[in-house]
């Protein structure tokens, strides 16, 4: 049986009759697919978001936090509820600026490189989709357990890596499988991944703010892999992947009484029948991939290289809390834009990359000079940053679903899914040296 990632070479596929006097029958079970894909998007990205939101706490514990001996579990002894607005974390590894010796970009790399690696080879893996999803669920659960119970640094990072592996394999598999469903599952999937940003960052921030330790908080989150399994195996209506995705089935979900020989189609619309054809087809996807890479490179450079350095002392939020709320507000922006594609579409994703570059300039100057008078201005800019990032993601994959020929859409989805990971990985690499360079600058007046 041909499954996700396997080549398909049928000579014919069924198509719907184009009869203007006869509307296609309504698919009464469509809601199951749409809801399932929303839940799958939420669960797939949830652990990834939690790891980034917890990055500041993880690094603080790895460096000894308040200077006392570490507890048995790195995440068990950090009592978020006891932090103060100023005294708890003005300095970590540096004496001047409020910096960790190791940028949260290091956590970002551990959280994205495995995802990038597995996405890059996903189309070559001859694994059935059910096996892939089992690996996703198992790796997500293992990631939470390892992160919560780690007593040494390498175990902690293995937990982050397991979570990343789950997210990367899941995204490549679910996006490719989505080509067999109604095109609107891309919208619900994207909305779900945006919802993961809010649910992940807000649940971690909220639970730790209530006094739960990061360890207990992460263990509670083990319910998420179970929800992912239920959505995939119990709610989603599974499709026959022996045949390539078909436009009429995605739009109507109806039976197709007529067949067409693919040899009658233009050459650039025929199925990719071997790996040589698939590799040669990749450059044609750069129109989707390059703008998305740039958007994610710029936004994650801000998130993991600069967020930690944007600090307002003496207010009602500690530095750790400010970092967490930056992540929450960013994810709110992502959720809004990822849920908006049925209302508004943008074909020119590169424009979002230009605006994101302007954000990089602003946040870099803020991290160096601390000139913004109020944290509320930063909140608004972070929301805008999230809107751009989420908009770049959903509009890219929506364009693939509508513009790429049906016979090539599954492969295009899988290949393009590496774009955000490439951008994020490059951002993590760039964030570490720039973060440390800013940390070595003289202390700004606002912190004196």
Q: Where residue 118 sits, what CATH number does that domain have?
A: 1.20.1250.20
Q: What is the pLDDT of residue 209?
A: 81
Q: Where are the alpha helices (DSSP H) in 256-374?
A: 275-281, 286-301, 319-338, 350-369
Confidence of residue 412 (pLDDT cuts 50, 70, 90): confident
Residue 12 domain-assigned (yes or no) = no
DSSP letter, residue 24 = P
Backbone angles phi, psi at 260, to 5 degrees: -135, 140
Confidence of residue 160 (pLDDT cuts 50, 70, 90): confident
pLDDT at 196 over 70: yes
Of the two residues 11 and 342, the one the predictor is more confident about is 342
How many residues are recorded in the chain? 448
Q: Quote the distance between the C-alpha of residue 346 and its chain's center.
A: 20
Report the share of the chain in percent with pLDDT over 90.
23
Q: What angle do CA 87, 92, 97 make, to 5 degrees?
A: 80
The β-bridge partners of 360 are none
Q: What is the pLDDT of residue 56?
A: 56
Query: C-alpha dihedral over 428, 430, 436, 439, to 10 degrees?
Result: -100
Q: What is the pLDDT of residue 76?
A: 42
Residue 69 domain-assigned (yes or no) = no
Q: What is the pLDDT of residue 1?
A: 46
Q: What is the pLDDT of residue 218?
A: 87
Of the two residues 105 and 129, the one the predictor is more confident about is 129
pLDDT in tens, 313-335: 878 888 778 877 887 888 889 88
Residue 447 domain-assigned (yes or no) = no
> Of the spans 82-91, 213-222, 350-359, which averages the highest pLDDT?
350-359
Q: What is the pLDDT of residue 67?
A: 36
Mean pLDDT (the chain, rounded):
77
Residue 14 domain-assigned (yes or no) = no
Q: How many domains does the chain have?
A: 1
Q: Kindly report the number of other CB atoms within 10 A of residue 249's CB atom.
A: 23
Residue 126 domain-assigned (yes or no) = yes
pLDDT in tens, 229-275: 999 999 999 877 666 555 444 444 444 444 545 556 666 667 777 77
Confidence of residue 447 (pLDDT cuts 50, 70, 90): low
DSSP letter, residue 123 = G
Q: Kindly report the number of other CB atoms within 10 A of residue 72's CB atom.
A: 9
pLDDT in tens, 222-234: 999 999 999 999 9
Of the two residues 13 and 364, the one the predictor is more confident about is 364
Q: What is the pLDDT of residue 90?
A: 42
Residue indicated by tokens 């469903």? 181
User: 34: domain range?
Assistant: 29-61+96-241+273-440
């Amino acid at each position: 049986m041909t499954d996700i990632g396997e080549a398909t070479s049928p000579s014919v596929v069924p198509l719907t009759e184009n009869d203007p006097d006869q509307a296609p029958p309504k698919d009464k079970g469509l809601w199951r697919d749409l809801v399932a894909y929303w839940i799958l998007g939420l669960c797939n990205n949830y652990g990834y978001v939690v790891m980034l939101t917890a990055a500041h706490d993880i690094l603080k514990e790895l460096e000894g936090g308040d200077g006392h001996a570490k507890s048995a579990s790195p995440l068990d002894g950090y009592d978020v509820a006891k932090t103060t607005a100023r005294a708890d974390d003005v300095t970590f590894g540096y004496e001047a600026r409020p910096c960790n010796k190791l940028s949260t970009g290091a956590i970002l790399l551990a959280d994205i490189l495995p995802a990038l690696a597995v996405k890059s080879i996903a189309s070559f893996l001859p694994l059935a989709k059910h096996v892939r999803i089992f690996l996703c669920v198992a790796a997500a659960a293992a990631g939470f357990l390892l992160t919560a119970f780690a007593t040494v640094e390498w175990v902690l990072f293995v937990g982050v890596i397991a979570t990343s592996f789950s997210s990367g394999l899941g995204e490549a598999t679910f996006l490719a499988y989505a080509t067999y469903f109604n095109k609107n599952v891309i919208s619900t999937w994207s909305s779900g991944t945006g919802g993961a940003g809010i649910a992940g960052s807000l649940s971690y921030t909220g639970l730790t703010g209530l006094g739960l330790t990061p360890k207990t908080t992460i263990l509670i989150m083990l319910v998420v892999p179970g929800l992912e399994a239920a959505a995939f195996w119990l709610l989603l209506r599974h499709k026959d992947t022996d045949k390539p995705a078909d436009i009429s089935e995605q739009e109507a979900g109806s039976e197709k009484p007529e067949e067409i020989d693919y040899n009658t189609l233009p050459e650039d619309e025929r199925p990719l029948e071997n790996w040589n054809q698939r590799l040669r087809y990749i450059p044609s996807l750069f129109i989707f991939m390059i703008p998305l890479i740039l958007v994610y490179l710029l936004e994650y450079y801000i998130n993991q290289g600069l967020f930690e350095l944007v600090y307002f002392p003496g207010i009602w939020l500690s530095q750790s809390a400010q970092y967490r709320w930056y992540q929450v507000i960013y994810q709110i922006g992502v959720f809004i834009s990822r849920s908006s594609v049925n209302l508004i579409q943008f074909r020119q994703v590169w424009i979002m990359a230009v605006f994101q570059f302007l954000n990089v300039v602003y946040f870099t100057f803020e991290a160096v000079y601390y000139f913004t008078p109020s944290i509320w201005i930063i909140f608004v800019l972070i929301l805008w940053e999230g809107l751009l990032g989420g908009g770049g993601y959903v509009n890219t994959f929506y364009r693939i679903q509508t513009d790429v020929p049906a016979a090539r859409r599954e492969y295009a989805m899988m290949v393009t899914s590496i774009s955000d990971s490439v951008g994020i990985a490059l951002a993590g690499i760039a964030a570490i040296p720039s973060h440390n360079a800013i940390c070595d600058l003289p202390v700004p007046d606002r912190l004196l």
